Amino acid sequence: MKSKKVEEFEISRRNFLKTSAALGVAATISGIPTLSQGAEAKKSPVKSRMKPGMINSVLGPLSPSKLGLTLMHEHFVFSYPGWEADETLGPLDFKGALQTNLEAIKKAQKYGIKTIVDATPNDNHRDPLLYKALAQKTGMNIICSTGLYTEEEGSAVYFKTKKAWFGLDLAKFVSEIFIKEITEGIGKSGVLAGVIKVASGPKMTPYEADVHKAAVIAQKATGVPIITHTQGPTGGVEQADFLKKQGADCTQVMIGHVSNSKDIEYHKAILQRGVYIAFDRIGLEPYGKTEDHIKNISELCKLGFADKIMLSQDTVNYWWGRQIKPPEALVKALENYRIDFVTEKFLPAIKEQGVTDDQIKQMMEVNPKNLFMGN
């Protein structure tokens, strides 16, 4: 049995070597790796601000031992591209977003959540400065994404015209964004992205394939995990196969929204690819019934898959744009859609079905840590 310290050292060393090798890096005396990409970079090597063996949180390097109970897929803020066109009537409300999320985070903390991964990609207007303020005010560890949403619901037109008009290698073009945001920061915020988020529709389009390729390029360069959005009850197997074929490290891939399907054979088929699966819309009933999730997760735990499952809720705590009162029917349909549903209601429910405390700890704490560290 290795001591915790030795184990931590080994993880940090392994991650450092992996990151360094992938970056073609010569570690400097201070231990800060430099990114060196091709002839261009040889002229002026780019400094990476990543810390070996640490996770990029919005407040800086985070030790994997500090992750604790983790929600792997939530959104502090979100909006579909186009909300900017409504800015006259629905201006960006930083204060409103801050207040709403402070309350949400307090609720999560009541049940011991220590880390929240914000899965909002670039084209759904993530806000690194908001996340920073939230982390500072609450003590919650926050990890944010670099990524792009689906072709149908994201900002594909900008990227597709770049490819069509200028003949750009889109995968490379997009990977440059991901790598820059992971190693140097998002815009001028100084915040480093800690996960790569990609998405595909029911069938992966050529644009989405380019974005997935970009994610693998960035993962190879940085050692950061890839997390995904799948649309509807399919797409997970296709994503896992595609990422694997591109050479992704499957121990650092989490296929999302598998809870859109109640078919346990679909879940098993994705698991066979060696990736993590995320039941990450628990409580979002229009996309899957809680009773089905209870049944499938307890069955998968019995089958020995607790070490490959993540649990989260895909909450959107604040929508950018004009605030509209939702109709009663929608409020009713979303009554379990909240940041503390998993911890308050769902974990006790799966325990009743025989899922053990150790398995819960595995899914909520150990798996996120392993995903980040690539075990």
Residues that bind Zn ion (CB under 5 A): 119, 314
Nearer to Zn ion, 210 or 314 (CB): 314
E runs forming strands in the chain: 34-35, 46-47, 55-57, 60-62, 69-74, 113-118, 141-147, 195-200, 226-230, 253-255, 276-279, 309-311
Closest contact distance (angstroms) between CB of 199 and Zn ion is 9
Nearer to Zn ion, 94 or 287 (CB): 287
Q: Which amino acid is it at 359?
A: Q
Report the distance separating Cα 255 and Cα 234, nearest Å. Answer: 11
Closest contact distance (angstroms) between CB of 105 and Zn ion is 17
Sequence length of the chain is: 375
Which residue has the CB atom at the shortest distance from Zn ion?
A: 314
Closest contact distance (angstroms) between CB of 257 and Zn ion is 8
Instruction: List C-alpha distances in Å: 322 to 79, 87, 311.
Output: 10, 8, 30
Nearer to Zn ion, 120 or 298 (CB): 120
**Alpha-carbon dihedral sign for residues 308, 362, 372, 9:** negative
Closest contact distance (angstroms) between CB of 232 and Zn ion is 14
47: left (phi over 0), alpha (psi -120 to 50) or beta: beta
Closest contact distance (angstroms) between CB of 44 and Zn ion is 37
Closest contact distance (angstroms) between CB of 240 and Zn ion is 18
Closest contact distance (angstroms) between CB of 177 and Zn ion is 19
Closest contact distance (angstroms) between CB of 230 and Zn ion is 10
Nearer to Zn ion, 75 or 220 (CB): 75
Nearer to Zn ion, 124 or 219 (CB): 124
Instruction: List C-alpha distances in Å: 202 to 58, 151, 189, 237, 239.
Output: 32, 11, 34, 11, 10
In 3D space, the residue among 319, 281, 304 whose CA is nearest the CA of residue 101 turns out to be 319
Instruction: List C-alpha distances in Å: 193 to 59, 168, 190, 268.
Output: 11, 25, 10, 30
Report the distance separating Cα 249 and Cα 218, nearest Å. Answer: 11
Nearer to Zn ion, 34 or 100 (CB): 100
Nearer to Zn ion, 197 or 308 (CB): 197
Q: Which amino acid is it at 56?
A: N
Closest contact distance (angstroms) between CB of 68 and Zn ion is 21
Q: Which amino acid is it at 174?
A: V
In 3D space, the residue among 208, 219, 207, 144 whose CA is nearest the CA of residue 175 turns out to be 219
- Asked if 93 and 170 count as a contact pair (C-beta separation under 8 A), the reply is no
End-to-end C-alpha distance for the chain, whole angstroms: 17
Nearer to Zn ion, 98 or 119 (CB): 119
Nearer to Zn ion, 11 or 77 (CB): 77
